[in-house]
Amino acid sequence: MYLYNLTIQKPTSIYHSIVGNFSGTKQIEILVSHGRSLELLRPDETNGKITSVLYTEVFGLIRSIAPFRLTSGTKDYIIIGSESGRVVILEYNPNKNRFEKVHQETFGRTGCRRIVPGQYLATDPRGRAFMIGAIEKQKLVYILNRDSAARLTISSPLEAHKSHTILFAMCGVDVGFENPIFATLSVDYSDDTDLEEMEDNHSKMMLTFYELDLGLNNVVRKWSEEVESSSNLLMTVPGGSDGPGVMDLVNEEQPQIYALTGVADRSAMRVLRYGLPIAQIAGTPLPGIPSGLWTIPRSQEDSIDKYIVVSFIGSTLVLSVGETVEEVVDSGILATTTSILVRPIGADSIIQVFPHGIRHIKGDRRINEWRAPGRKTISLATSNATQVVIALGGGEVIYFELDAAGNLSEVAKKEFRREISALEIAPVRKGRQMARFVAIGDWEGPVRVLSLDKDNLLNQVSVLDTERMHIESLMMNEMTIGVEMPEGTASSSSAIAKQQQLQNQSNQVLFLNVGLKNGVMKRAVVDPITGELSDTRTRLLGRKPVKFSRVKLKSGNAVLALSSRVWLCYVNQGRYDMVPVSVEPLDNASGFSSEHCPDGIVATSENNLKIFVIEKLSEKFNQVNVPYKCTPRRFVVHPQTHYIVSIETEHNYLNELPTPKENGSNKMAEDKDPEVKREGDDMDYEVDQFSLNQNDKPPKAGDGKWLSYIRVLEPVSYRTLDLVKLDQDEAAYSLATCIFHDREGEVFLAVGCGKGVQLNPRKVESASIHLYRFTNNGQTLQLVYKTEVEEVPYAISHFQGRLLVGIANQLRIYEMVNHISKTSLSVGGPEVLVYATLNGTIGALVPFVSREDVDFYTSLELQMRQENPPLCGRDHLAYRSYYFPVKNVIDGDLCEQYISLDPTKQQSIAEELSRSPSEILKKLEDLRSSKLY
Amino acid sequence: MSERESLNSQLEHLQMRYVGTGHSDISKYEFLTNQHRDTYSSYVGHNSLLSLFAIAENESMGRVRFNLLHKMIQPCGPSPASKDKKDVLQTIALLLKKGKEVIFI
């Protein structure tokens, strides 16, 4: 069997972070390392939010990162120390939104070895040199400079080795423009240390300074002095205006890394849902079930909305947007009829299309009305800033244009003799007066794209087949896809043409989205000149007919697709992305912007109106956090009530907290009393608990001290039903629900515990299995009895009406957090293996069905390995085969990097595989959407 | 220089260069010390292992890393040779204290 490995949720734990101006602008950016991937974050100073700009897998282990800037430069480069035996200098290219490798210097073997540098990195604050060090002995210094073309150059390494030393920390010292100096913190363990020290069993911690003599091109050990033996972190303290820095040593007992890894999530149960999280701003009930919803901005230039228009059957409600949302009657919009379309047109006017005509409300409140001919009624309408197209019952389409005087005039008419079901005009392209295409769909397809050119009015230019399915809605929108092409030198004229074509593609792209009645959405790219449709993608969105609405996001235009689930189609890091939104099913939606929320969404669901914003576009999982008291170890689901039963165990913790003298004594009291947790106001309490953990952390109790809880959690409202505290030093290790064959289907809970367990060396006072009975409808636990056993039971399982317990050391200890399970992730999708890791990654292994797919992905992976070598210089195959040789598993993360390659490279890989780039892109996207989300 | 000698000097050079390389006459103490140091440095290098330990021990990652680095100094205690030396010195001191005569040969 062949499997396809794909990361669904990227790792959440952060191991390193650096600050710098990586894109070369004044904007401060943060680069974080997730251990195996890099992420560039940009904080927004106005609203305090952080947006993710770029996320890249490096297929290597990042052990250290450092920023540096050449003298008088404006841009920070990034140095990465990894387990590849190489040092890599990266530059962020903001145009392509990509990291580019500037230099790669090899100095040692691969792997996290004792004497191969990579663990420590220090840069000269003036950007003239950097030092890279191993845990033991080896340190290398590289000199950085610029050549005549202002490109970064790197020297061959200078050695600063010292054997028999273990390095604890390293940093660069600010010496202005003197010779660069690096400070290290190390311990000498050579055998000739005198006997006094042997007795004390700790050696001298030495602070050593190394000077790089730029003139002589060598590194010398300047001086060395003894410091406190518990010193463990070096950092520079800025001093003077531009003179030599004051160097100081920080005896930090708790290094910052602690805070960066995020200690808060350690004691929580996270419930993850695939979908963008939202924040609701306002909500109000409406008098009926609305049929349409629009927002009207103040004027064409001003994006702030003035009105929200809601249409019902037989009436229209106009709400004005201000401090509050109120009904208004003087808007000029006819209130006594159903509206089909209300939207701004021209510079300052509004059109309202209703069944019997079109009402054109000008900026000065003059109203022009156009009446539908005879007894015909308007069934559909669409418009952009200058054009209006309506469909009458019976299949007649009429096209209007806004003339120079700002009046709407009929231009053309066409009879289709078929009932029209959907109508959509393309938006006006930047720098043009009119849009050139309108798309129409009828009850049994296909979708036709008609031209609006003067010489070819309302004639068909292209067709999209929908397999005779009822077309529910259409949407045309422009999106900025990809990034600009670099100025490349093409060898032949055909290559230039190809490149230009690609360049067109990579900017504003006009998409035609088709929503079908069966919940399927089709998307195609419309050629801006000929109107040809290409690159069709299909996706199942839900069970209800698909409707679309335009919304505005910070990153540009986006489309909300409404079915039984709500999906957002938007451009994320230069890629077209489609993600469900975690919100109840919506009937109508529209983009909404006010002073307070520039990129909100107003929507209706049954008879409720609500306004919300999508908070984090990069966060594809919606998380619910249930704070726990201790580190959660395992959980089971009760087979009948579906309550979650979990065990939490904390090492190094006192069960009875000593009551502090003054502040926070009541917090402590609460902490001791689990009853409060169960009945009291959860939120307030949790805040207290959180601050308690953060600030006044209880003293470490020492080895062999444990605190454990068993918790029963209701999975719908995340309410804790019961919390059982175990005795002091009793640590819960495993649990299982069990139905004993002689107890008539009653469910018991078995918990394996150890008392006074010491981790290293392994020791245990006593161990037992606790058996609990569920009482009160499974909500509370009652201890039945404890069975003494000789070793800690690490694994317990229900086995044919008996309890199977692994006690002896034949059964291995399974990792606490890491987990793997078999499940199906998408509706009707195949079963996949889903795993979670300690770093917070969630990934999936998808089995391949056809041999053809296996061959395709194998060769794609092969090409990607050659054409796109991992960023930090590690060999991809060696990295993936580090613990065990990779066999029959294809790395989806590598294959998906194809999407972010530049078009010329995409083309060359595609040629090798004898396919077209769009075919490959489609295949990658289809695999993700059909098998996963 | 004979072939054997050059091989020996090459080996010595390698051992100097690559700390932790073994040889045929390695003592048990030396071997284990090297092995422990290698293991600890691997733990420190792999962040995920470090965080696993940190969770298990309920300590910060920084603390765990510091402890591991500290253990690298003398992972298996002082070397037997230096221990012998110390024992001898202690015995001499004891004998002198008791007023006994100690003859150094």
Task: Flag whether residue B78 sits within 8 Å of chain A, measured between CB atoms.
Answer: yes
**How near does any CA of chain A get to the CA of B41, in Å?**
5
Lowest mean pLDDT among A16-20, A42-46, A297-301, A582-586: A297-301
- List the beta bridge partners of residue A605: A608
Q: Do B45 and A119 touch (CB under 8 A)?
A: yes
Taking an 8 Å cut-off on Cβ atoms, the answer to whether A816 and B47 are in contact is no
Based on the domain organization, do A782 and A839 belong to the same domain?
no
Whether the per-residue pLDDT at A858 is higher than 60: the answer is yes
Tell me the helix, strand and coil percentages in chain B, rounded to 5: 70, 0, 30
**Taking a C-beta distance cutoff of 8 angstroms, is the pair A897, A11 a contact?**
no
| Chain A touched by B35 (CB under 8 Å) | no
Please answer yes or no on whether A189 and B74 come within 8 Å at the CB atom: yes
A325/A453 same-domain check: yes
The alpha carbon of residue A911 and the mean position of all alpha carbons in its chain are separated, in whole angstroms, by 32
- Please write the tens of the pLDDT for every residue from A868-905: 888 877 888 888 888 788 888 888 888 888 888 888 88
Residue A354 lies in a domain: yes
Q: Based on the number of CB atoms within 10 Å of its own CB, is A365 exposed (0-12), middle (13-18) or buried (19 or more)?
A: exposed
Query: What pTM did the predictor assign?
Result: 0.62
Q: Are residues A743 and A877 in the same domain?
A: no
- Tell me if A839 and B74 make a contact (CB, 8 A cut-off): no
A215-258 tens-digit pLDDT: 888 888 887 877 766 666 665 554 333 322 262 223 222 222 22
pLDDT mean over A905-910: 88
A303 in a structural domain: yes
Write out pLDDT tens, residues B47-104: 888 887 877 776 777 778 888 888 888 888 777 777 777 788 888 888 888 887 777 7
Based on the fold, state whether residues A764 and A866 are members of the same structural domain: no
> Searching chain B, which residue's CA lies closest to the CA of residue A837?
B48
Gap between the Cα atoms of A168 and A119, Å rounded: 10
**What are the two backbone dihedrals, phi and then psi, of residue A639, each rounded to the nearest 5 degrees?**
-65, -20
Beta-bridged to residue A268, according to DSSP, are: A627
Q: What tokens does A370 get?
A: 């156009």
Q: Is residue A397 part of a domain?
A: yes
Q: Which amino acid is at A760?
A: N
Half-sphere exposure in the Cβ direction for A834 (13 Å, CA): 15
- Region A638-661 average pLDDT: 59
Q: Please report residues of A whose CB lies closer than 8 A to that of B66.
A: 168, 232, 255
**Final residue of a structural domain among A567, A597, A616:** A567
Among A12, A166, A202, A251, pick the best mutation site for testing chain B contact (most B Cβ within 10 A): A166
Choose one of A533, A567, A601: the last residue of a domain. Answer: A567
Claim to verify: residue A330 and residue A446 sit in the same structural domain: yes
Asked whether residue A331 falls in the same domain as residue A435, the answer is yes
**Is B82 part of the contact surface with chain A (CB cutoff 8 Å)?**
yes
Cα separation, A278 vs A918, whole angstroms: 32
Share of chain A above pLDDT 90, in %: 0
Do A326 and A374 sit in the same domain of this protein? yes
Rounded distance between C-alpha atoms, residue B41 and residue A137, angstroms = 12
Tell me whether residue A575 is in a domain. Answer: no
Instruction: Give the domain CATH number at A903.
Output: 1.10.150.910
Same domain, A327 and A407: yes
Q: Is residue A134 part of a domain?
A: yes
pLDDT value, residue A853: 86
- Residue A694 CA, chain-centre distance (Å), reads 26
Contact across the interface for B62 and A257, Cβ inside 8 Å: yes
Question: How far, in Å, CA of B77 to CA of B33, rounded?
Answer: 9
Report which of residues A488 and A7 the model is more confident about: A7
Q: Does residue A858 share a domain with residue A763?
A: no
Asked if A15's CB is within 8 angstroms of B52's CB, the reply is no
Q: What ranges make up the beta strands (E) of A337-434?
A: 341-345, 349-354, 357-361, 367-371, 378-383, 387-392, 396-402, 408-415, 420-425
CB contact under 8 A, B89 and A135: no
User: Do A301 and A180 have their domain in common?
Assistant: no
Partner-chain contact A115 B19, CB within 8 Å: yes
Residues ≥6 apart with Cβ < 8 Å to A617: A51, A276, A553, A554, A555, A570, A572
CA distances to A50, A214, A824 from A619, rounded to whole Å, are 11, 47, 22
Of A814, A842, A866, which one is at a domain's C-terminal end? A814
Instruction: Give the CATH number for residue A701.
Output: 2.130.10.10
Query: Does some domain include residue A93?
Result: yes
Residue A110 to chain B, least CA–CA distance (Å): 12
Length of chain B: 105
My answer on whether A764 and A650 are in the same domain is yes
Q: Is B22 on the interface with A (CB under 8 A)?
A: no
What domain count does chain A have?
4
Q: Are residues A783 and A836 in the same domain?
A: no
CB-based contact (8 Å) between B61 and chain A?
yes
In a domain, A689, yes or no: no
Contact A269, A626 (CB under 8 A): yes
Per CB-CB distance under 8 Å, the chain A contacts of B18 are 115
- C-alpha span between A212 and A252 (Å, rounded): 28
What tens digit of pLDDT does each residue of A59-79 get? 888 888 888 888 777 788 889
Q: Which residue of A has its CA nearest to B15?
A: A163
Give the mean model confidence (pLDDT) for residues A8-17: 76
Task: Write out the residue range of the structural domain in which residue A347 sits.
Answer: 297-481+507-567
